[in-house]
Amino acid sequence: MLSGIPDRRKEEDELRDAKRLPPGQSLTRKFPVLHYGPVPSFDPSTWDLKVWGEVEEELNWSWEQFSQLPRTKLNMDIHCVTRWSKFDTDWEGVSLKRLVEAGIIKPKPTAKFLMQHCEYGFTVNLPMEVAMGDNFLLATHFDGNPLTPDHGYPLRGVIGHIPDRDDLKSPYLWKGGKWIRGLEFMTEDRLGFWEQAGYHNEADIWKEQRTTRGW
């Protein structure tokens, strides 16, 4: 029953020494499923992704149109506020940074924050500087395969830590929303679902910014 635990602890120690394991976190080799509410169904013929707010042009992509956007692959460590960490995870999807750089999405200078609007009214907020980082992705694939429904299929935001990229802010995983249906660019910050419930608005993994009230 304890098989594998000594090896896991050794790996944890190595990751901690390499400054890749944030305080209060534990290594997992699984991918735990955590979300609020039921898993939505997906119909590619009716699915769309809206882009609005502080942008030069509002957009509304069908699944076929979204699937034709430039693709990005990303390897990073992900850290959940519930204290598990998974390392060297492989993702594929669409980089918001690349869309903006290519002029596909044109935020106005007044766009300072991004709200991810998800199924069932769930929301996740990010500062633009974080959403535009190399470690934020609108992901469609994990580990070489399409996302499973309980991990956000067909589209989720994912954010993590890229080793040796200390210039990037690295929030906990909840700052990427599952089942995204809209991107709203905003002049001022608004709290997302979990932030309204008391979770920390910045969610820095290295500062253990888990909640505003403490555990």
- 158-212 confidence digits (pLDDT tens): 999 999 999 999 999 999 999 999 999 999 999 999 999 999 999 999 999 999 8
- Is residue 21's pLDDT more than 70? yes
Assigned domain for 118 exists: yes
Q: Give the span between the Cα atoms of 215 and 212, in whole angstroms.
A: 9
| Contact by Cβ (8 Å): 175, 161 | no
Tell me, what's the pLDDT at 213?
66
Number of domains in the chain: 1
Mean pLDDT of 62-88: 97
- 135-159 confidence digits (pLDDT tens): 999 999 999 999 999 999 999 999 9
Write a three-state SS string for 119-156.
HHHCEEEEEHHHHCCCCEEEEEEECCEECCHHHCCCCE
Say whether 191 sits in a helix, a strand or coil. coil
Q: Give the span between the Cα atoms of 73 and 1, in whole angstroms.
A: 36
- Is residue 214's pLDDT more than 60? no
> Which residue in the block uniquely carries the two structure tokens 């995870």?
89
Q: Mean pLDDT over all residues of the chain?
A: 94
Q: Give the span between the Cα atoms of 138 and 117, in whole angstroms.
A: 12
- 82-130 confidence digits (pLDDT tens): 999 999 999 999 999 999 999 999 999 999 999 999 999 999 999 999 9
- Is residue 54's pLDDT more than 70? yes
Domain of 131, CATH number, reads 3.90.420.10
Angstrom CA distances, 210 to 23, 135, 151, 198, stand at 11, 19, 21, 9
Assigned domain for 189 exists: yes
**Nearest CA-CA partner of 21 in 90, 89, 83, 73:** 83
| Contact by Cβ (8 Å): 91, 148 | no
Say whether 189 sits in a helix, a strand or coil. coil
Assigned domain for 25 exists: yes
Assigned domain for 174 exists: yes
Tell me, what's the pLDDT at 3?
47
Task: Give the global pTM.
Answer: 0.93
| Contact by Cβ (8 Å): 192, 159 | no
Residue 154: give the domain boundaries: 5-196
Assigned domain for 206 exists: no
Assigned domain for 114 exists: yes
Assigned domain for 52 exists: yes
Assigned domain for 35 exists: yes
Tell me, what's the pLDDT at 8?
82
